[in-house]
Structure 1
Amino acid sequence: MFDWTLISEYLALIFIAVVIYFYYDKRQITTPRRRLFWSCLILTTSSIVLNILTIWVDDMHANVPLPINVAINTLYFVSSVAMTLVITVYLLMREYEFVHDKQGAKMAGYTVAALGAIYAALIATNPWTGWLFHFDASGDYLRGPLNRIVYALPVAEIILIVSCYLLHRKSVSLSMRKIVRCVPIIVALLLIFQRIYPEQLLNGTFAAVIILIIFMNFQSVRIEVDSLTELGNRSSFTAELAARIEAKQDYQVMLVGLRNFSEINRVYGHAGGDIVLFQVARKLEELSRGGFAYRFDGDEFIVLLPHTDAAEQDRRLDRIVSAMRKPWSVDKDHAVRLNAVIVEMRHLGKQWGPENVVNRLEFSLGVAKRENAEVLRFDDQMAERYAKQKRILLSMQTAMQQNRFETWFQPLYCAENGRFETAEALIRMRDEKGRLVSPGDFVPLAEQSDVIDDLTWIVIHGACDLLQSGAIPELRYVSVNLTARQLLQTGVTERLAALLDEHDVDPSQIKLEITERTVTENGALVASVMEEMRGRGFEFMMDDFGTGYSNLSSTVSMPFTYVKLDKSLIDGICSDKNSSLMVSTLIPFFHKVGEKVVAEGIESRDQALAAIDYGADRLQGFHFAKPMPAGELCLWYRTTGRQFKL
């Protein structure tokens, strides 16, 4: 027998104590994953302590009753085996986290259970068999013939973990891959150390190293905390929410979004913006006593509070609204006001999972921002709007599969010669019964998803088909809309050029409309792409000028051929002095910088005459024609368009 030294076990115990100290956080919800890691910590601590005790009682066996010595050694074997099994289960869970092969996960679980059963049987029968250990007549500890089989358990578990990794490595997370790659090397190095210094006890060291690796990669509290604000992050919010839902608890939740926060970053730098975010976090944390505050996203926060009476919930909401209206210091000389949007939800017995709650909150926040609302509650009316959105999203998916999207066209009036030489191509969708769905219902949803890309190419194909057919000889060009994401996609120029070549359409016959918002938010990058496409013969029109993102300097610096004045500017052109002043000022300005102007939303003859009087080059609106399919457009040209008189 060696004269064992316990230095390494004491150090391992200190390491585990440090992990426990930094891991403990009463604010963190006890999720299944956290419970499992706590089990790893407790069993590892128990195993190390019991290992130290076995050495102590072995050294003092003359003064320790034999039953106590047997009990301590048995408990050590039990805790050691349980520790390695629980750590293995934890690692396998993380390994299969993103793996679809659930049958493989079950087989791995059965393997761990079988190993546990074998070792449980060995430990349970040891008092009679002495296969693991026994004591001689003088009370000295003696290893049994199967004692070293205990060391085979972690080896078997490492082989199991590595095997599962090799089967599914493409689906295993990066953190788990690092663990699988480094743990066998660390174990090998520790085994070499044990070989060189056989008197050292490294059982606890092995476990402590694994625990430290797990803690750093998966379970550090910092992983669940936003580094800037020190609030819980999105994942910790969903974990807390899941726990409340599982416990069937009602709650009040408020999502706070900071509209146009990027302006603060632009003016005061990201350091100034971070100062404001930190202050907002502290205030929300103060106002969420009894609950929790989280940083949900870059400029979004969530407050989660327990259910109480309606009056108190109203007061909570009012306190947060009032706090967000106050100025926030950027530095000692400057303060800013935040344009905050607050969405509130009161959960009363709804059978929603965490993901459903988050989806409803994000939907409501989007509605609040679009409608310029400061406070919005997710009530029955919002629930119906959300349900309608889901129905439309599903309908869009099936419409794509069943070819129920169509390209329609709205002709534009040329003020110079009174002809309809151009048209805008627009997307339309029919439902399952063949009825048209309002573009206002499905286009905004499409723009928030990948569907818009497919819809754009449907429109471009439709425009090319019409131009290629030659059915309307006077049609000089058709304009189509591109989103920022589409414009900035790699290879969009080549794809568009190839499509036009296929239809024998010249790039000058397709005008690309991009919104003013696209230009404002992606200025330099958009400009470079536009210049590249202009070199291939494409021309651009700025769409929706005047919708709230107006920036004349960025507009005139871009290579636009036309600027389309939004309907919001045209509506009051005959009745509102400010609107008429704006239009009469903008049109000459754009002419001076070499850009022509389209007046959108013309709904009356008076508006048309006023727009022409102010110098508009093209006019578009229901006064001339509504959007229509290609076949109807051809008929409209023959019966109306060629004879139209303003």
Structure 2
Amino acid sequence: MGKINYDIAALCIIGLNFFLFFSRSRLYIVQTRVFFLLLLSNFLATVTDITTVVMYWNEPDYHRAVHYVINIAYYVFQNTIPFLFIIFLVALCEKLKQTRAVSRMLLYSSWIFSILLIFTTPITGYAFSFDAHGAYCRGPMLPFLYAMAFIYIVVGLTYFYRNRHQIPWETRLAVFFFLPFSMVAFGIQFIFPDFLVQNLGIAVSGLIILLTIQDFGTYTDHVTKLYNRNGLFFQIKILLQKHKKVSVFLVSLDTVNFLRLVLGHEVFSSLEREVARKLFGFIRADRFAAQTGPGKFILVTAEQTNVEVERQLLLEAFTSPWPVADRLLSVSARICEIHIPDDTTDIQVVFQAQYEFSRAPALYPVNTIIPLNALSLANTGRHQAIAEAIDRTLAAK
């Protein structure tokens, strides 16, 4: 048993990792969920590692069974990390559902075998044991557990390398930055058992992933922290894969250009943040929102959400002034309700409808729910394409 200095440092970094993970907007995709489990396993492995050392300092105060339980928990969490890492790599390649049944069976069965080997340790002593004096001893099968972790990483990297052309360069770089910290830490702790750096290496690796692969800044609006157009397009496609029906509410603030001119950039940004906070709250997998332009918002909810409650919330929000920057602002909005697939199956229609509000706002009333079929979208797509082409040309100059 070694000192816990490195584990304490690992806990600090893991705390930062959790803060970054939960404080930022993220896409609700498989790789995000797997990465959260990876963070959680790292945290639990670190906590149980510290607990085993502290208990070993006061070994006579605890029953032998308690020592076994805590050490088993540590090895289970520690040996789950490589397993989750390979799943994370496959998820990055977007091939998790396409993985053959035989490959999945081999992956899961080898992990289950390792876990069973750990759980039977009190009887077999395969992973570890305690001698008559209570001294901790490594088991004869512990090298096998380390070898399994190494094999997981090699197999995952091989799969990742074979699919590298489908993965952005930044993602590939982040994965290969991940490896030195985790692999070197694994090797050091295997050779020097009292040098408890394994959890620290994984925590640092997780931080690298959070600052690269799991940084979804390109999919979020930096003012309101909602999704931007790219993030909305990405997330709504994921939602439609899980739910047959989705409700979409377009919210376009009235007289946006006037408000921006009169209020100034800072106050108007405060208004947008207040709208995002009051109407949309925290992003969830089945209810999320996006800001696609100044004063333009889109709320997306799954079929389980009470749509009537959403309607009332949106209508009531604009019946009273908004407190922004020590002042009360009377703000109106045009709201359109779209049901997918009843009204349309094309996500682009959502953006066309919002563009229609900007193109001809005088045609539509404020502070009322407007159905999609009430919008004149016959030429909106063409107008939108022209406007976007002009914007791209100006941006290129």
TM-score (norm 2): 0.73
1:8 and 2:3 matched: no
Call closer, same or farther: CA 1:525–1:184 in 2, change over 3 Å: closer
Residue 51 (structure 1) aligned to one of 46, 49, 52: 49
1:282 aligns with 2:274: yes
Residues 521, 45 of structure 1: alpha-carbon distance in 2 compared, 3 angstrom cutoff: closer
2:371 equivalent to 1:363: no
Alpha-carbon offset, residue 8 of structure 1: 0.3
Contact map agreement 1:25 1:221 (CA 8 A) in 2: no
Q: Secondary structure at the match of 1:55?
A: helix
| Match of residue 195, structure 2, among 197, 200, 212 | 200
1:182-221: CA deviations, max 9, x gaps? 1233345546765997632112113212221232224458
Secondary structure of the 1:344 match is strand
Structure number with the higher helix fraction is 2
Q: TM-score with structure 1 length normalisation?
A: 0.48
SS of corresponding position for 1:209:
helix
Judging changes above 3 Å, is the alpha-carbon distance between structure 1 residues 314 and 245 closer, same or farther for their aligned structure 2 residues? Answer: farther
Aligned residue number for residue 227 of structure 1: 222
CA distance in 2, matches of 1:229, 1:25: 13
* Mapped contact 2:223–2:273 kept (Cα < 8 A): no
Residue 252 of structure 1 and its aligned partner are, at CA, apart by 6.6
2:249 to 239, 250, 253: 253
Q: Cα–Cα, structure 1 residues 144 and 191, in superposed 2: closer, same or farther, change >3 Å?
A: closer
Return the alpha-carbon distance in structure 2 between the equivalents of residues 364 and 205 of structure 1. 50
- In structure 1, distance between residues paired with 2:64 and 2:250: 62
Asked whether 1:381 is paired with 2:370, we answer no
Deviations 1:312-342 (A, max 9, x none): 9368337549879xxx99xxxxxxx99x973
Equivalent of 2:39 in 36, 41, 44: 41
Name the counterpart of 1:216: 211
Structure 1 residues 53 and 285: CA distance shift in structure 2, 3 A: closer
Aligned residue for 2:133, secondary structure, equals coil
Is 1:160 equivalent to 2:155 in the alignment? yes
Q: Which residue is equivalent to 2:298?
A: 302
Per the alignment, do residues 14 and 30 of structure 1 end up closer, same or farther by CA in structure 2, a change over 3 Å counting?
same
| Preserved contact between residue 249 and residue 299 of structure 2 (Cα < 8 Å) | yes
CA distance in 2, matches of 1:297, 1:72: 50
- Counterpart secondary structure, 1:201: coil
Change (3 A) 1:352 1:59: farther
Identity of aligned residues (%): 18
For 2:243 and 2:59, how far apart are their aligned partners in 1? 50
Query: Is contact 1:135–1:141 with CA below 8 Å preserved after alignment?
Result: yes
Change in 2 beyond 3 A, CA 1:177/1:360: same
**Which segment drifts farther, 51-60 or 160-169?**
51-60
Gaps of 5+ in 1: 330-336, 390-440, 453-482, 486-517, 527-646
Aligned-pair RMSD on alpha carbons? Answer: 5.0
2:169 maps to 1:174: yes
Q: 2:16 aligns with which of 7, 15, 18?
A: 18
Query: What letter is aligned with 1:137?
Result: A
Partner of 2:123: 128
1:70 match: 68
Which shifted more, 360-369 or 297-306? 297-306
Task: Decide whether the 8 Å contact of 1:23 with 1:221 is kept in 2.
Answer: no
Contact kept, 8 Å, 2:14 with 2:43, in 1: the verdict is yes
Counterpart contact for 2:246–2:341, Cα < 8 Å: no
Superposed, 1:407-486 pairs within 5 Å as: 445=381
Higher relative contact order (CA 8 A, sep 6+): 2
SS of 1:212's equivalent? helix
1:118 matched residue in structure 2: 113
Structure 1 residue 145, shift from structure 2 partner: 1.5
Partner Cα distance (1:93, 1:316) in 2: 37
Q: 2:140 aligns with which of 145, 153, 158?
A: 145
CA deviation string 1:117-149 (max 9, x = no partner): 331232244333322222222232221212122
> Partners of 1:130 and 1:256 in 2: how far apart?
66
Task: State the match for 1:641 in structure 2.
Answer: none
1:345 match: 337
Whole-angstrom distance in 2 between the partners of 1:26 and 1:179:
19
Q: Is contact 1:9-1:48 (8 Å) kept? A: yes
Partner of residue 90, structure 2 = 92
Q: Distance in 2 between matches of 1:524 and 1:140?
A: 69
Q: For 1:179 and 1:521, how far apart are their aligned partners in 2?
A: 30
Q: 1:320 to 1:484 in 2, by over 3 A?
A: closer
Contact 1:77–1:123 (CA<8 Å) still a contact in 2? yes
**Residues 1:277 and 1:375: Cα distance change in structure 2 (over 3 Å):** farther
Verify the 8 A CA contact 1:53 1:72 in the aligned structure 2. yes
The structural deviation recorded for 1:304 is 5.9
The 1:282–1:162 alpha-carbon spacing in structure 2 relative to 1, beyond 3 Å, is same
Q: How many residues align structurally?
A: 384
Q: Which has the larger radius of gyration?
A: 1
1:15 counterpart SS class: helix
Deviation at 1:38, TM superposition (A): 3.3
Q: For residues 415-464 of structure 1, what are the alpha-carbon distances to aligned partners after superposition, in whole Å with 9 as ceiling and x for unaligned? A: xxxxxxxxxxxxxxxxxxxxxxxxxx7xx756766xx9xxxxxxxxxxxx
Query: In 2, are the aligned partners of 1:255 and 1:361 still within 8 Å (CA)?
Result: no
Match of 1:185 among 170, 180, 184: 180
Taking a change above 3 Å as real, the CA distance of residues 284 and 71 of structure 1, as seen in their structure-2 partners, is closer
